Structure formats: structure tokens, C-alpha cells
A = this chain, B = another copy of it.
Amino acid sequence: MQLTGNLLIGRHSFHGINGSIDAVDAATGERITPPFGGASLVDLDRACALAWQAFDLYRDTALAARANFLETIAQNILDIGDELIERCMTESGLPRARLEGERSRTVGQLRLFAGVVRVGDFLGARLDPAQPDRKPLPRVDLRLRQIGVGPVAVFGASNFPLAFSVAGGDTASALAAGCPVIVKAHSAHPGTSELVGRAVQKAVNDCAMPEGTFSLLFDSGREIGQALVTDRRIKAVGFTGSRSGGTALMNLAAARAEPIPVYAEMSSINPVLLFPNALKSRAADLGRAFVGSLVLGAGQFCTNPGLVIAVEGPELDAFVAAASTALRQTPAQTMLTPAIGTAYASAVAKTAGHPKVTMAARGLEARAVNEGQSALFVTDADSFRDHPELQEEIFGAAALIVRCRGIDAMRELIESLEGQLTAALHIDEADYADAKALLPALERRTGRILVNGFGTGVEVGHAMVHGGPFPSTADGRSTSVGSLAISRFLRPVCYQDVPAPLLPDALKNDNPLGLNRRIDGDLRMAK
């Protein structure tokens, strides 16, 4: 497919004239063609108008048709072939195997939501039948279903150019919920975005979905992204990125005449808790495994383990020694963008210069531009508590080990942490009692608690939570990975005494959609 650098607005494709975005080879820093034309406010208005027109039609599509649409997007992405992987490697600096895996995940997410749409449980159908003879007052007939909130703005993530970008998790869950989507492409991978955007646009056409179901915009600055979030026709926002970017969108959304929900996945240092018996039995193994997780994808995962908490002593020393040895052998890796590489180097230098922090080890030095050199630091619990800046996420392969005087100090430290996506506990059976005592504090501030593993590698399923209290996300009531994500783009509507011909199929007496429904509160299986 020949890249055009065009905006995709409804069924149209044309070159934006509001500035230009150049794709950059992450490994060399060189510009690559073609240039991508930035959207104007007129283009944005057109995309929003189309999405708004599409909303009533698209949310009314049959479940099977909507599921088929999601599967068609998945197939169209696969049909792009190796061109997608190669372009994405160039733009992101990520290796082939990682991106092939990410493509599988992207396709898998779309298919997962197709399955969710077919089953229809997300409609949350509830019927409280009328009781005309109830005393003292007759009871009306009440029926409830969930509908899409409206057109959704999705901001592509730099670190998942496929799985959290144009046709990634937010787009898949919003489309599944019945919401048209307008994507603001991440400028780190515009070519990848165009390729995937065309696959979605083609699926809209292949499946005869309403024109405004999908649009893709490029933005040479911040004007279009901000205007998108404040447009009255946009009813929710999905975002994955920095804390500053996410909170800026939250503030914009809260200041609207009609405030709307923002689902921003932002900032998490993902504490790793090493318990005494686990450390005693396998400190060196843990140190090596930890470094394996730390440097994965150049440390550019939301779930990257940036903080280790453990009780001081010879076992922790052994962990630090093993981790340091492993780290010193890890090659520097190409980072997603030159800007991310620069920010990483600067954050590492700042931590290295912190008076309360000791450098334990650094990875191999960079041999090319825009490579990130991994780093491991050590501090103590008092210093960590007294210096909140040490809790700030460093986006990249850098972590801080905090030595505590005992389990109580570990608990206190946990209580000082901000909201997190994940917390990992390394425990042996002899640690269970200590671990159990810390679980409530972890539940209060994390979305996912995992044992004897690391948070990197997010399984896409039904029981996954990729979310957590602020600032890990804007809204801890939700997840951005897994089938539960569909609920973030839904809201309930109740129908009272509505005659059968006017009821949506989901709520008709004879249950034509074959849904599991709640009758007077009791769950009734369709079959």
C-alpha cells in the first residue's frame, strides 16, 4: 500500500493543510517520507459531524453485524501483511518479534470484543415486569439496557503503536459498545497509523457501516487534540500517555459545558515487593528475572517495574548484586522517539544526581543515537518517603530499589505510594502471612496484584484489569485491557411502560436476541 500522508475522514482521504508531521526513523532520527498533513478545525468539525450522524445508526446495528465489523477490521489489519510490521519497526524502533506479537494482540482484542458483542451480556438487560395488582400502588413496567455514550475520541499511544493506537484497545471497546471513534494519531508512528486507519476505513465500507463510524486525524501540534476533547459531539475520551498529557485532557474535559469522562492511562511505577523468605531462597534468580522485565521493550511499558521494595540485609544485597550483574550486560535499546530518549536520559541523570540515591549499575552504553542505557538505583525508605520526586515515573528501563528496615516499614512505604496499575509480590509459603497483611493496602491502590511474576505482559482476557487509582489512570473504576473495558463507554437507559413495538429488541418479552437477562433482579440464562 502506498502511504499518502492523508487524513481519513469518513469515507474520504485527503491531505491536511494545517501544518505537516514527519515520520522519523527511531533508530537514526532521520525523516522518512511521505509527510503527513495536519488536520484543520474544519476537518475536525467534519469528522465530529459525521461521527454524530453515525452514532444513532451505528449503535442500532445488529449485534452480529457489529461483531462481523470488528472481525473484518482484524482481518484487514492482517491483510496489510509485512509492510505494517516493517513500517512500524522503522517508526517505533521496536523489534520484529515484539511487533508481530503486538499485531496478534491487536487482532485478538478485536476478535475478543466481537465475541463479547455477539453474546450481548454488555447490554446489561434488566426487566422488572409490571404488577398491575400491587397494593397500595400498581407497579409500572421497567426495562433497562446499556447504550453507547456517544462518539469517542481516542489518542494513540507511543508505546503500543498497534495494540493501543488506531485500532487498539480503546477503539475496539468503543466500537464494540456502539460508539463511533475519532482517532488522533500519535505523531511517533503516522505511517503505521495510516496503514491501520485504512484497514478500519475499508472495514467500514466492506460492512456498510455508517460513514462517520471512524475517522483518523493527524495533528501537527496540540490544537486538534484539544479541540477534539472539547467538541460538544464527543462524549468520552480514551488516552494512553504521560501524566501531564492525561491530566491536561482531564482538565479540558472537566471544564466543558457538558463534562465528559476521560479514560487516561498515565503513570505507574508498579512496585515489586520482595518478601524475606522468597529473597532467602532465590535472591539471585529474582534479580535476574527482575532485570529481564525491566529492560523489556526498552522499559517502555506502562507496567514496567520501576520500584523494588524489600527488607534490607544480605539477601537483598544478593538480589541487588545479581540484578546489577545482569543489567551491566544489557545492551542499550532504541527508544520510541528521540524526545522520549532525551527525556529518559535526563530523568536518569536527575536521579543519579539525587543526594539520597546511589547508582547500583548501568547497562551497556548506547552505540547509536536514541538508544536508552538502562539504570538501577538504590535508596532507603526514609529518603523515599521524604522525597516524593523519587516516586515519579521514569519512562524507560530505570528502577529504584528501596531498602526497608522491616515488614512494617514496607507497609508504611506502600501506604505512601500513589495509585498503581500493578503490584508484584515475590513470596514463598512462609511469606503468606506477611503478604496477606499487605494485601488490603495493595488492593486500595492498584488495579492488578500479581504473585511471583512481573506486570509486563498483560494478558487480554475477561478477568484482566489494566487500570488503577489516580494517577495510574484518570478513573480507577475502569480497565483499558480486557473485555470489561466495554463498560467504560456505556450508560444505562430505562424504558417505563414502553409498548412492545417501540422497545429495543434487547428488552422485548420474547428475547429475540437470546440474551442473558435479569428479571426482577434474578439472572436468567438464555440457554
Residues of A within 8 A of B (CB): 55-56, 60, 115-116, 119, 121, 124, 126-128, 137, 139-140, 142-144, 147, 149-150, 250-251, 254, 258-259, 261, 418-419, 429, 432, 435-436, 439-440, 443-444, 446-453, 457, 459, 461-465, 467, 469-471, 474-479, 483-484, 490-499, 501-502, 516, 518, 520-521, 523, 525
Q: Cβ of A435: which chain B residues have Cβ within 8 Å of it? A: 502
The listed residue (B418, B459, B496) touching A128 by CB distance below 8 A is B459
Q: Cβ of A492: which chain B residues have Cβ within 8 Å of it? A: 447, 465, 467, 477-479, 484
Q: How many chain copies does the complex carry?
A: 2
The listed residue (B439, B471, B477) touching A490 by CB distance below 8 A is B477
- Cα distance A230–B116 when bound, in Å? 38
Main secondary structure of the interface of A (DSSP, over half): mixed
B254 to A461, Cβ gap below 8 A? no
Name the residue of chain B whose CB is nearest to the CB of A112.
Answer: B521
Contacts A470-B259, A521-B115; is A139 near B476 (CB within 8 Å)?
A: no
Contacts A144-B465, A464-B144, A521-B115; is A450 near B497 (CB within 8 Å)?
A: yes
Name the residue of chain B whose CB is nearest to the CB of A490.
Answer: B477
Q: Cβ of A258: which chain B residues have Cβ within 8 Å of it? A: 418-419, 469-471
Q: Cβ of A452: which chain B residues have Cβ within 8 Å of it? A: 497
The listed residue (B463, B471, B496) touching A450 by CB distance below 8 A is B496
B497 to A451, Cβ gap below 8 A? yes
B144 to A463, Cβ gap below 8 A? yes
Of the A-B pairs whose beta carbons lie under 8 Å apart in the complex, a sample of 13, sorted by A's number, is A121-B523, A128-B459, A128-B464, A251-B254, A258-B470, A436-B502, A439-B502, A449-B495, A449-B498, A450-B497, A451-B499, A461-B520, A465-B494
Q: Cβ of A470: which chain B residues have Cβ within 8 Å of it? A: 258-259
Name the residue of chain B whose CB is nearest to the CB of A137.
Answer: B457
Q: Cβ of A493: which chain B residues have Cβ within 8 Å of it? A: 443, 446-449, 465
The listed residue (B128, B432, B483) touching A462 by CB distance below 8 A is B128
- Cα distance A491–B421 when bound, in Å? 13
A53 CB, nearest partner CB in chain B, Å? 11
A511 CB, nearest partner CB in chain B, Å? 15
* Residue of A144, A254, A516 with most partner-chain B CB within 10 A: A144
- Cα distance A498–B439 when bound, in Å? 11
B144 to A521, Cβ gap below 8 A? no
* Residue of A436, A483, A502, A525 with most partner-chain B CB within 10 A: A502
Name the residue of chain B whose CB is nearest to the CB of A483.
Answer: B521
Q: Cβ of A121: which chain B residues have Cβ within 8 Å of it? A: 523
